[in-house]
Structure 1
Amino acid sequence: MLKGVATRHVFWGLYVTLMALQVMLAMHTSLFGDEAFYWLESLFIQWSYGEIPGFVPWLNALSTAVLPQHPFFLRLPYLLVCWSLPWLSYGLVKHLSQCQQAAWQAALLTLLVPLIGLIGVLAIADIWLIFFTLLALFFLLRLMQSPKRIDAVYLGITLMLAVNVHIRFWFVLFVAFIAATVIYQQYFWKQKVLWQFTLPLVFLGFVPILIFNVQHDFTLLGFQLGERNPWQFQPSHLWFFLGQFIITTPLVFGLCLISLKRPVDDDATKRKALLFIQLLAVLYWLLYAILGFFSDNLRTNIHWPIPAYLLLLLVAATYYQRHVPLKKWAVVTGGFAHVLFLIGFYLLLHNIPVTSNNHKQLINNAIGWQQVTAKTRELQQPGQVIIGDYFMTAAVLNYQRNEQTLIAALPHPMNQKHGRRQQLALMNLLYQDTPEKPALLVVEHTALKLHQQIPFYQNSCRQLNGLRLIDDLSIRQGSKIYYFFYTNAHSCDIPPIIYHDYQQGIHSGWVMVSKDINTQLNHVTITGKSTPVSSVQSLPLGQDHLFSTVNAAHYQRLGYQVEANDHLQLSVQTADKTITTQRFYR
């Protein structure tokens, strides 16, 4: 399998298969919320942005200007970069080993990390971080072997762009500097072209970030280095280590570990290059393994060390004749896992019913956008202003509608959590006014946690001069729930607020609803059948802090119990309307 022509055949078979699956995903999957927001930012060209440097929005602005508006075309530059990674690995190992067979093996091993296929589909920063890491490594190794001005300039341009992709690339620079100092020692410091050409270009890359942060009270740095990180010890990060073993697949992970063995080579230049790659990979991996105990625990970070694995696979490929049985099985298991992962993710997005909170959280940011847009168009009155509840709703509605007038978002906990509040304000898309005429407000209720729901609706009522609930929309059997309101109602409709618990086959909890003797709770099955909940008890609001600002004369709690081994979705039926609520999973 890993000899001569066979390696190339296996590579091309796996490469084309993965490309086809990625194209299918990119064409048929709606934008994830973050992708949509980066697109929205691209409509406002700035030096940098409130939560991310400028590269991704700049690239989106360019691609949007020359390509049709469709998720596939927005993602196309990211796909092309993903598809270039095997060839970049090929060039790196060919440079290191001067062996074409080793180069083909490097190209093949690059395809064995399953998450790369998904990362490459999405119009987000991650695939560019991997690309620029490998490209910078290529030019640096050439520079260390034979100092030339052109390589120093190429390295400088690469780093100048890369520091504007994401703040995480700054960590790559940091650990690469340490690794180069340790491995190359004085030889590294004596490279005049590095300091004369590369370093000034790197500094030039930081200029847009510096200008933006000086102008806006260091918003980007404050969010990335402060607000998003608790900076206190988190034992939950221990799952990260098991996660790395799983996402790389066990045999590929084992191959990476074996690649840490100190290289023995008569060629001193090659030996130092491999030592540098190994140390860079180890330092980069350890950085996230250690910082993860103290940093951001609200977002997925399991994919951040992927460049480290690719670097170690390059070392493995350089010695292409070693560990051949392990490599064969790593190719089988890693390649198979990569293909299955992309197929499985597509099915989770488009075909398989949502049956768990994990499934819901995995796909929620990419489902339901067409339905929400259609419902919004249906409910919008001629000339009526539309307001989104938070950045993701506003961004996706703007992308789907593609109209001249942009939709703004209200102050919302999710804006703060994701560092988008300041950026919305800079784009004049943070809605802080009171509309003169009734506007249409679109709220993703399931984006709010229980303790956030009542304050959000009450604050919105105060700001928008009252809210009147006019409709709801259930996405994927209640996985997501949207509520639609008209503003300027001079009264405040708070939709059902639900607490839910599941123990030993019994769903129980309470629903906060307005006082109405005709209120009835119904259990909605996965097929849409609705049956009354028989065990319902009227309860006072009580002294819980959740209800401290709620008028007890207008609202009540309805306690419920439903014996069912299935999931639970309730609807609240009153004299004049029926309101659907989210589905709770066992």
Structure 2
Amino acid sequence: MRNEQDARRARRAFLWVWGTVAAIKLLVAMRLPPFVDEAFYWQEGRHLALAYSDLPGLTAWLARLGTAVAGTNVFGLRWPFLLLGAALPWLVVRIARQACAPVDGDRTGDVFAWQAGLLAVLLPLGGTLGLLALPDVPMAFATLLCVDAGARMLRKVDPAAALELAAGLAIGALSHYRFAAVVAVGFIAFLAFPRGRHVLKDVRTWVALAIGAIAWTPLIVWNLDNAEAGLRFQLVDRHPWNFHFDGAWFFVVQAVLATPLLFAAMAHAAVRGWHGQGADRHQARYFALIGGGTVVAFCLLGFFADNERVSFHWTLAGLYALLPLVPATLAQWPRGWRRATWVLAAAGLVAMLGYYVVVSSPAARARFAAAKWYPANFAGWDALADAVRDERAKLPRETRIVADNFKVGAELGFALDTPDIAVLPHRLNALHGRAPQLDVWKLLAHDRASLGDQPLLLVVGASEVRYRELLRHYHALCDLLGPLPPPRVVNIDHGRQRFLLFRMPAQKQSGECTAPAMAYIDAPLAKARVSRDFEAAGWAFKDGVGIARVEVTLDGQVVGVADYGQQHVGIRGFWRESNDPQHPYVAWTARVRAGSVSPGLHWLGLRLTGRDGSVEQWPEQPLRIVD
């Protein structure tokens, strides 16, 4: 009777938490701006194909399905992924219930099953899965289908289990290149002990494996048709394949994101499972091998692989596979440690959901404009789209929108429901493996002639380029399209996210490169504490025409005019390609009188007027005024 009551309580807790989290995710998903990768998957979905340069086809197909049903908006894009994400904890419950089957009326297995499902909801990365339209969602779904099928086949190989395995393998193959690692670890897990090897001797197992292998065909064919561009990016271009100690941080990040105590419980569960400790020793060993093996493999890979882009989610498939073992392991821990594990996991999920709530609020994002973790990939796309709509209304109907990188092209395309925005060559296109796909769509413009004889609205993501490389980027745009006219500047969150809009003529113009202004505030430093009256100093130049006036702003309001034109020989020495005719007289100083503004955080900026009449608002930096 006691176990039956515990099982009911565990089930009730799971249902309440699962329902609450699902509702929160739905609300946040309807407000959260589209992440850059989501926008590109939407664009892929509008160019339906069996496979793409960066991924197999399933993520794009789901994005297409979602928007076909609910329209081109963030809910339409995400609802299929929300459904799959909501199903994951239920799959964990199903798997754990098989692993902890009741014996002689003992309902402890039911308690552990519902607890495992609850842990799947609370696991910070897992609990937020489905909030974004990303390939990790169907890949996690496929992994759990395969884990469930494997656990069933360890008990008895039957057609239903083989069919589930085939479905999981096929969905995984259509989700991501990375699923190949899950397949490899799973195969090794079956080879590692006699019962698993017995399963591999059954012809139904091999039929399922064959179906899973066939599902890789579209990706293989795409690579054969495109000089292995996708494989080279995934396996060669993005990875240094040299040992680097940064991989040690991968373990730390995994422990923090899974929450340390839950991560320790998973490690303990893997060790216990390896030694066959569980309701079914064959299944316990199987979960330990496939879950622990996947986590360890990706953690070791971190010492040799790409450490520039986000990779902390790689181990998620392995963590899910370990969850069915964790409740029985926690039952061996002291009561205080068990409670701390649950509380810390819940706090981790709240923190992750809280992050997305902050990101979905423009006001909250602006408060963190100076923070290192500023969510640039979520920020500013709606304001940019509004500016583009406004500019396009003033231009001839035949004007073509051109983006300087795939991020701007995909996000603008999603906002304007225009999937064919041309994109210029940019390091980001290659860095993220999107250049080959843009080439396939004939959207990568290598020269002005490929854009046609029509006016252009060029949209440049200035904040996507490292500042020391920004002037070189402007000159590359001049080489490609001709001198750049005065831009319309779109600053979001004090300029942390910055876009420039140029009205380009129908024909490429000749002449010396004119470019947007470049500037810097040397003093006061960002986040400095200053009095109401303080000295400011820096430099500014504008290639092709020069600077006529520099004004200092505080919270967007002009508070002083700088003394511009002072000598600074070091600027030309660093920016060697600059052709501003005023070099080396490009420095400025100003006396700023803040007047009656309240003490506290304020934003210092510049308004730069060029000799061609252009006015550009420079990004602001924070400072604190003290009495």
TM-score by length of 1: 0.91
Q: Which moved more, 1:174-183 or 1:422-431?
A: 174-183
Question: Which secondary structure state, in structure 1, belongs to the residue aligned with residue 307 of structure 2?
Answer: coil
1:415 aligns with 2:426: no
Q: State which of 610, 617, 620 in structure 2 corresponds to 1:574.
A: 610
The one-letter code of the counterpart of 1:495 is: P
- Which segments of 5 or more consecutive residues in structure 1 lack a partner in the other structure? none
1:151 aligns with 2:161: yes
The match for 1:532 is: 560
Q: Which moved more, 1:555-564 or 1:369-378?
A: 555-564
1:497 aligns with 2:512: no
Matched ranges for 1:334-345 at <5 A: 334-345=345-356
Q: State which of 341, 365, 376 in structure 2 corresponds to 1:364.
A: 376
The match for 2:141 is: 131
Q: What do the CA deviations read for 1:430-452 (whole angstroms, capped 9, x no partner)? A: 12342423311011100011243
Is contact 2:295-2:315 (8 Å) kept?
yes
Question: Which secondary structure state, in structure 2, belongs to the residue aligned with residue 48 of structure 1?
Answer: coil
The match for 1:331 is: 342
The match for 1:102 is: 112
Matched ranges for 1:115-514 at <5 A: 115-184=125-194, 186-195=197-206, 197-263=207-273, 270-318=280-328, 321-323=331-333, 325=335, 326-350=337-361, 351-354=363-366, 359=371, 361-380=373-392, 381-383=395-397, 384-403=399-418, 406-434=420-448, 435-488=452-505, 490-491=510-511, 492-498=513-519, 502=525, 505=528, 510-514=539-543
Is contact 2:552-2:560 (8 Å) kept?
yes
Over 3 Å counting, the alpha-carbon distance change for 1:37 and 1:268 in structure 2 is closer
1:168 Cα deviation after fit: 1.1
What is the alpha-carbon distance in structure 2 between the residues aligned to residue 314 and residue 511 of structure 1? 61
1:321 Cα deviation after fit: 4.3
What is the alpha-carbon distance in structure 1 between the residues aligned to residue 256 and residue 622 of structure 2? 25
1:517 Cα deviation after fit: 7.4
What is the alpha-carbon distance in structure 1 between the residues aligned to residue 276 and residue 307 of structure 2? 45
The match for 2:550 is: 521
1:535 Cα deviation after fit: 7.3
Question: Which secondary structure state, in structure 1, belongs to the residue aligned with residue 382 of structure 2?
Answer: helix
The one-letter code of the counterpart of 1:247 is: L
What is the alpha-carbon distance in structure 2 between the residues aligned to residue 392 and residue 240 of structure 1? 27
Q: State which of 575, 578, 596 in structure 2 corresponds to 1:550.
A: 578
Over 3 Å counting, the alpha-carbon distance change for 1:521 and 1:159 in structure 2 is same
What is the alpha-carbon distance in structure 2 between the residues aligned to residue 285 and residue 447 of structure 1? 32
Is contact 2:244-2:304 (8 Å) kept?
yes
Q: State which of 31, 34, 46 in structure 2 corresponds to 1:31.
A: 34
Over 3 Å counting, the alpha-carbon distance change for 1:481 and 1:268 in structure 2 is closer
Q: What do the CA deviations read for 1:478-522 (whole angstroms, capped 9, x no partner)? A: 111111112235453311234677489498764342476763334
Question: Which secondary structure state, in structure 1, belongs to the residue aligned with residue 157 of structure 2?
Answer: coil
Over 3 Å counting, the alpha-carbon distance change for 1:542 and 1:28 in structure 2 is closer
Question: Which secondary structure state, in structure 2, belongs to the residue aligned with residue 467 of structure 1?
Answer: coil
Q: Which moved more, 1:312-321 or 1:372-381?
A: 312-321
Over 3 Å counting, the alpha-carbon distance change for 1:426 and 1:130 in structure 2 is same
The one-letter code of the counterpart of 2:293 is: L
Question: Which secondary structure state, in structure 1, belongs to the residue aligned with residue 349 of structure 2?
Answer: helix
The one-letter code of the counterpart of 1:496 is: A
1:78 Cα deviation after fit: 0.7
1:10 Cα deviation after fit: 2.3
Over 3 Å counting, the alpha-carbon distance change for 1:304 and 1:505 in structure 2 is same
Is contact 2:100-2:278 (8 Å) kept?
no
1:169 Cα deviation after fit: 0.8
Q: Among all aligned residue pairs of Structure 1 and Structure 2, give the percentage whose two residues are the same amino acid.
A: 26
Over 3 Å counting, the alpha-carbon distance change for 1:359 and 1:165 in structure 2 is farther
Q: What do the CA deviations read for 1:12-53 (whole angstroms, capped 9, x no partner)? A: 232222112211211011211110011001111223111122
The one-letter code of the counterpart of 1:574 is: G
Q: What do the CA deviations read for 1:53-82 (whole angstroms, capped 9, x no partner)? A: 211112222223333221112101111111
1:343 Cα deviation after fit: 2.4
Over 3 Å counting, the alpha-carbon distance change for 1:291 and 1:556 in structure 2 is farther
What is the alpha-carbon distance in structure 2 between the residues aligned to residue 63 and residue 553 of structure 1? 54
What is the alpha-carbon distance in structure 2 between the residues aligned to residue 358 and residue 160 of structure 1? 44
Higher RCO (CA < 8 A, seq sep 6+): 1
Matched ranges for 1:5-154 at <5 A: 5-98=8-101, 99-154=109-164
Q: What do the CA deviations read for 1:317-339 (whole angstroms, capped 9, x no partner)? A: 35674437233332222123312
The one-letter code of the counterpart of 1:337 is: G
What is the alpha-carbon distance in structure 1 between the residues aligned to residue 346 and residue 80 of structure 2? 24
1:474 Cα deviation after fit: 0.7
Is contact 1:101-1:320 (8 Å) kept?
no
Q: What do the CA deviations read for 1:550-572 (whole angstroms, capped 9, x no partner)? A: 33547667346799986653332
Is contact 1:541-1:555 (8 Å) kept?
no
Question: Which secondary structure state, in structure 1, belongs to the residue aligned with residue 488 of structure 2?
Answer: strand
Is contact 1:355-1:585 (8 Å) kept?
no
Q: Give the superposed CA RMSD.
A: 3.0
What is the alpha-carbon distance in structure 1 between the residues aligned to residue 291 and residue 16 of structure 2? 29
How many aligned positions are there?
582
What is the alpha-carbon distance in structure 2 between the residues aligned to residue 155 and residue 508 of structure 1? 66
Over 3 Å counting, the alpha-carbon distance change for 1:266 and 1:163 in structure 2 is closer
Question: Which secondary structure state, in structure 1, belongs to the residue aligned with residue 79 of structure 2?
Answer: helix
- Which segments of 5 or more consecutive residues in structure 2 lack a partner in the other structure? 102-108, 530-535, 593-599
1:143 Cα deviation after fit: 1.4
TM-score by length of 2: 0.85
The one-letter code of the counterpart of 2:514 is: D
Q: What do the CA deviations read for 1:293-335 (whole angstroms, capped 9, x no partner)? A: 2211111112221233222221023567443723333222212
Over 3 Å counting, the alpha-carbon distance change for 1:523 and 1:171 in structure 2 is farther
Q: Which moved more, 1:336-345 or 1:157-166?
A: 336-345
The one-letter code of the counterpart of 1:497 is: M
What is the alpha-carbon distance in structure 1 between the residues aligned to residue 259 and residue 606 of structure 2? 40
1:135 Cα deviation after fit: 1.1
1:388 Cα deviation after fit: 0.9
Q: What do the CA deviations read for 1:313-372 (whole angstroms, capped 9, x no partner)? A: 210235674437233332222123312431243124413254557846542111211111
Over 3 Å counting, the alpha-carbon distance change for 1:565 and 1:370 in structure 2 is closer
